[in-house]
Structure 1
Amino acid sequence: MPSPLGSSIRIAAWNAERCKYDRATRRLMEAVGADVTLLSEMDVGMARSGNRHTVHDLAEPLQQGFAFAVEFVELGLGDSREMRWHAGQSNTLSLHGNAIMSRSRLSDVFVVPLDEGGTWFCNSDADQRRLGGRMAIAARITSAPYPLWVVSLHLESRSTRQTRALQIQRLLAALRTEIGDAPAVIGGDLNTDAFPTGPAALREACEDPRDFEPLFNEMAEAGFSWSSCNDGRATQRTRPDGTPSPPFNRLDWLFARGVEVTGCRTWSAVDTEGTAISDHELISVDIKLV
């Protein structure tokens, strides 16, 4: 059953990188205590994640509902590492995508394609062929005291600053049509790799990132702010296999429009032993509702 919302809510965003570590991921979600989580890179029927419906398996024990949308149909077992690790296994459904998980009911769900597709089929390494393209999934939080929309976003990793800005233009054009200028929170993996690295330089760049990533100009013109939603920390993390290696950047962001932000945080995506469960950290923002 959907739960009523209080006077404030926490909205998290996380690239869970296949969501392979079910129990550790659930413990992280419990620690964060998010009312809404914007998820990307979630598997459904992939051998690399146990052929599970990872969104359902995460949401059900937390007594939350979800909306899931397919980003790619995978034509293999994954990247070169996953091809080695899962050799001889088979996918059951081969789906990979983005989701919104919420303890409050979601309504009016829609999907926004962000690119022309084909990048991971026509121009891909031979060991990771996939059909589809980057996308965003949006929904309205039904029990909020005013129309409040949330959007889970994933921009292309094989991209430039200019193509990322173009994807954001497509998202914002769709949002203008579907929700107008209603209050909204957008979050996810933007693959913003143009910032200087090193904690001090990165934090300074994140205070006004428009000179580094043009997509922030697009967001500002649409009324979305980021300064109170992000703490300027890097959101990349080394996986158990030693990749990726530092220096790290801030790839993951939250944006807010028409709401009062009261706090933000970057959470370490690790298990109880401190081992990474994704190559991305989780980020969150607190929103005052009444």
Structure 2
Amino acid sequence: MSTSSTPPSGDRQTPPQVVRPDLPPRFELDHDFTEALAHIAAIRTRRKLERDPVYREIKPQLERVLRGFEWDLEPTLGTSLTARRPGVVRVAAWNVERGKRFAGLRHALTHDPVLREADVLLLTEVDIGMGRSQNLNVPRELAAALGMGYVFANYHIVLAEGDRGERGHGIPNTKAMHGCALLTRFPVLRFEAVDLAERKDKFHATEKRIGNKRTLLCELLLPDGPLSLALVHLDPFTGPRHRAGQLRQIVARLRRFGGERMLLGGDLNTNTYDLGSGQGMLYNMLYKLTRFGFEGTVEQYMKPEEILERKVFDALRAGGLAIEGFNDFARGTIYYDVYDPEMARKALDYLPKPVCRWLMGWLERRLEPWDGRVPLRVDWFAGAGLRPRSPQVIERPMVDGQIISDHNPILVDLELAN
């Protein structure tokens, strides 16, 4: 399949990658450089990577995959434009944590009384061919189970088993792709992607990878007309100012993409920290404790739009998008859980081991009134030209006693025009 632009480097900004409506209803994003990825993963620096003959040989195909899409829209062809529930279209957004607990994820989306009524799903952190998620094509398998069409936009080629808490499973990656996916019961009229500049080169990250995040823009045909959607995942390894810059770029492109009705949804990573370095994270923490105190700092996690991440939400408002009416402000969408061993492992990515141990012990004592777990709001909807109804957060979906993702899904119903 092709787009309207020449595939760029994984680290460059590019013109709009518009997929034309006359393309085939199904396309698989594939490659044959799996064996070369082990060689590339062993290279230690970006400079050496750029000079490596194996990398230079596969680079054109690699760039095509990094900028690529996969889709299957056949389930949406010839279907009647009817929502699952009279008078409304239900949209859910969920960071599904790779889809690595796939059986539980599929069960929740097909059996949960609220989630199973969704007409559109905006899914972030979605794997294709990653050992940590059993090398499944997560968007394809979910879409087949739900009888929906899908569009997947790739972000990265992953050169590791996963992050610090995802290692040791012993399953080699095959396609090693990671991105976002929109699943829909309605026809897709067009789509494109927005490349987002990342401040930290992920080739040198704990989860070593090539590429950058992208925002997927899609126009769907709903029962009452078109809707333009933006599926967003902002960078957690930076601060609010950089996230705001990413969002301004997204909103500007969404406006150029067009449409009288627009919905933006996904993981905005409004965690109120700069996770780009241990020094930045400690500075953020000391600033909060000095300004708000400990209890006040915990309270700020649930209202990032007011002070600590205000620039991010200013970018939405400047683009004419509102968060009011689209979100349940009473519930968090992720938790900081001091007793979660994976949380402790992730902390080691930012802090020296002695500092990390001291900090975790201190937090354990201070968070006793909250039973060691505090909520944050990092997943959001924002819209324009729409009538939102009944926004909600599904609290920690579980199957067989296992939490499916570290994020909670968020939902909103959009009232259809008569």
Which of 261, 264, 271 is the equivalent residue of 1:186? 264
Match of 2:325 in 1: 228
Q: SS in structure 2 opposite 1:247? A: strand
Match of 1:255 in 2: 382
Match of 2:17 in 1: none
How many Å apart are 1:201 and its aligned residue? 5.4
Q: 1:165 to 1:201 in 2, by over 3 A?
A: closer
Matched, 1:71 2:170: no
Match of 2:358 in 1: none
Q: SS in structure 2 opposite 1:39? A: strand
Q: 1:217 to 1:25 in 2, by over 3 A?
A: same
- Deviation by residue 1:234-258 (Cα, 9 ceiling, x = unmatched): 1114599643373331111111111
Provide the rounded CA distance (Å) in 1 between the counterparts of 2:338 and 2:214: 25
Match of 2:408 in 1: 281
Q: 1:94 to 1:154 in 2, by over 3 A?
A: same
Matched, 1:20 2:117: no
Q: Which consecutive segments of 4 or more residues in structure 1 shift more than 6 A?
A: none
Q: SS in structure 1 opposite 2:243? A: helix
Match of 1:121 in 2: 203
How many Å apart are 1:76 and its aligned residue? 1.3
**Structure 1 or 2: more strand by fraction:** 1
Match of 2:109 in 1: 29
Provide the rounded CA distance (Å) in 2 between the counterparts of 1:40 and 1:13: 8
Which amino acid counterpart does residue 65 of structure 1 have in structure 2?
A: G
Q: 1:50 to 1:285 in 2, by over 3 A?
A: same
How many Å apart are 1:29 and its aligned residue? 1.5
Q: 1:92 to 1:17 in 2, by over 3 A?
A: same
Unmatched 5+ residue regions in structure 1? Answer: none
Unmatched 5+ residue regions in structure 2? Answer: 1-74, 274-295, 344-371
Provide the rounded CA distance (Å) in 1 between the counterparts of 2:162 and 2:332: 25
- Deviation by residue 1:64-112 (Cα, 9 ceiling, x = unmatched): 000001011101111122222x23x311100000010011121211111
Match of 1:134 in 2: 213
Match of 2:130 in 1: 46
Which amino acid counterpart does residue 52 of structure 1 have in structure 2?
A: L
Matched, 1:243 2:243: no
Matched, 1:211 2:291: no
Provide the rounded CA distance (Å) in 1 between the counterparts of 2:339 and 2:133: 16
Q: 1:50 to 1:150 in 2, by over 3 A?
A: same
Match of 2:31 in 1: none
**Structure 1 or 2: more helix by fraction:** 2
Matched, 1:108 2:205: no
Provide the rounded CA distance (Å) in 2 between the counterparts of 1:100 and 1:134: 15
Kindly indicate whether the alpha-carbon contact (under 8 Å) linking 1:118 and 1:132 is maintained by their aligned counterparts in 2. no
Largest Rg, 1 or 2: 2
Provide the rounded CA distance (Å) in 2 between the counterparts of 1:177 and 1:82: 39
Which amino acid counterpart does residue 152 of structure 2 have in structure 1?
A: F
Query: Percentage identity across aligned positions?
Result: 29
Kindly indicate whether the alpha-carbon contact (under 8 Å) linking 2:139 and 2:152 is maintained by their aligned counterparts in 1. yes
Which amino acid counterpart does residue 123 of structure 2 have in structure 1?
A: L
Question: TM-score normalised to the size of structure 1?
Answer: 0.89
Structure showing greater relative contact order (alpha-carbon pairs closer than 8 Å, 6 or more residues apart): 1
Q: 1:239 to 1:107 in 2, by over 3 A?
A: farther
- Deviation by residue 1:6-49 (Cα, 9 ceiling, x = unmatched): 32101010000011222211222132121001000000000000
Kindly indicate whether the alpha-carbon contact (under 8 Å) linking 1:111 and 1:138 is maintained by their aligned counterparts in 2. yes
